Amino acid sequence: MNKAELIATIAEDASISKAQANAAIDSFTEAIQKTLKKGDKVTLVGFGTFSVSKRKARKGRNPKTGEAIKIKAKKVARFKPGKALSEKI
């Protein structure tokens, strides 16, 4: 499912316009991004938790040349599904 299909589904289920559904999705994703950027986590009971974790710097290989390269440390977004979501899948 892409964003357009998600917007159409939410608009239909909530009996709102596609523009309103798009605004809601944009607001939701922006709120999660801002929270993660601060280093906090977002927990939606029954759905899951969005959080930030740190990846250490490590060595890797360039697959094209086989040359050893250094991969920088960075922060990555994580999602851990909640119990209710896991059971429905």
> What are 33-82's pLDDT values in tens digits?
999 999 999 999 989 999 999 999 999 999 999 899 999 999 999 999 99
pLDDT tens digits along 51-64: 999 999 999 999 99
pLDDT tens digits, residue range 1-17?
999 999 999 999 999 99
As a whole number of angstroms, the distance between CA 11 and CA 20 comes to 8
Query: pTM of the predicted model, to two decimals?
Result: 0.75
**Structure-derived torsion over alpha carbons of residues 51, 57, 59, 62, reported in degrees to the nearest 10:** 60
Based on DSSP, count helices (H) and strands (E) in the chain, helices before strands.
3, 5
At 68, is the secondary structure helix, strand, or coil?
strand
Residue 50 C-alpha from the chain's centroid: 7
